[in-house]
């Protein structure tokens, strides 16, 4: 109850305070290529339910038309100029404040994943994320805008290591840890280092 109240209050304030930024980002996206401002994508939430996560579009329109569902690389040519700035500062995820307000997400929790997402092992074989140890446990709580994995895990480490951090969060979850992760996230955003290598935990 306390966590949910915290999420509602902070997301409401965040939506109000960031409104001018939304207009500036929307204008920059439209001026660059004239494409859609927002990007909605199915994500798995609490209890395994699916919701639509909102983001500012940071890639070219129809970015997955030729490649399919591929995670963006550091120098991905599909990312627009405006998108590079947004991804470095996490501004592209501002619309997820709405997802938090309505209860799809929380400020802190495991990163929301796409339904049916797969992982590639070192030998090239594909494994469903639902078969990776720790996948089920992470859906006991709402997915988060930030969290241990988002702050500390490099983009390219194996999913079972990311899920290990998610399970660690479930064991240590509390208001103090949430506040620490939120403050760290603001600091990373301010420095524009979300695309930089992460720190050791």
Integer Cα distance of 4 and 68 in angstroms: 35
Mean pLDDT of 147-153: 91
Q: Locate the domains of the chain by residue range.
A: 2-191
For the chain, what is the mean pLDDT?
87
Output the CA angle 43-91-144, nearest 5 degrees: 40
Integer Cα distance of 59 and 161 in angstroms: 27
Integer Cα distance of 144 and 185 in angstroms: 12
Report whether pLDDT(31) > 90: yes
Residue-wise pLDDT for 39-87, tens only, equals: 999 999 999 899 999 999 988 887 666 655 555 556 677 889 999 999 9
Pairing of strands 144-146, 106-108: parallel
Instruction: Give residue 105's pLDDT.
Output: 97
Instruction: Give residue 10's pLDDT.
Output: 94
Half-sphere CA count of 29, side-chain side, radius 13 A:
23
Token pair belonging to 57: 């579009």
pTM: 0.86
Q: Please report how the helices 175-191 and 2-17 are oriented relative to each other, as an axis angle in degrees rounded to 10.
A: 20
Instruction: Give residue 59's pLDDT.
Output: 85
**Residue among 126, 135, 146 at smallest CA distance from 10:** 146
CA dist 84 → 62, 75, 92, 127, 184 (Å)? 17, 9, 9, 30, 20
Confidence of residue 125 (pLDDT cuts 50, 70, 90): confident
Highest mean pLDDT of the ranges 124-128, 157-161, 166-170: 166-170
Output the CA angle 173-179-182, nearest 5 degrees: 105
């Amino acid at each position: 109850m306390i966590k949910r109240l915290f999420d509602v209050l902070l997301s409401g304030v965040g939506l109000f305070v960031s409104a001018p930024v939304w207009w500036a980002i929307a204008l920059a996206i439209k001026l660059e290529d004239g494409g859609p401002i927002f990007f909605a994508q199915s994500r798995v939430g609490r209890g395994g339910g699916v919701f639509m996560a909102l983001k500012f579009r940071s890639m070219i329109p129809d970015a997955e038309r030729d490649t399919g569902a591929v995670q963006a690389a550091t120098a991905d040519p599909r990312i627009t100029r405006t998108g590079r700035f947004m991804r470095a500062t996490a501004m592209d995820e501002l619309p997820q404040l709405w997802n938090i307000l309505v209860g799809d997400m929380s400020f802190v929790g495991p990163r929301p994943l796409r339904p049916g997402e797969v992982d590639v092992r070192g030998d090239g074989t594909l494994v469903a994320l639902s078969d990776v140890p720790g996948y089920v446990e992470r859906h006991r709580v709402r997915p988060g805008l930030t969290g241990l994995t988002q702050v500390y895990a490099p983009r390219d480490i194996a999913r079972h290591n990311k899920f290990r951090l998610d399970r660690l969060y479930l064991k240590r979850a509390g208001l103090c840890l949430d506040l620490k992760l939120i403050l760290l996230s603001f600091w990373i955003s301010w420095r524009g280092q979300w695309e930089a290598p992460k720190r050791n935990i």
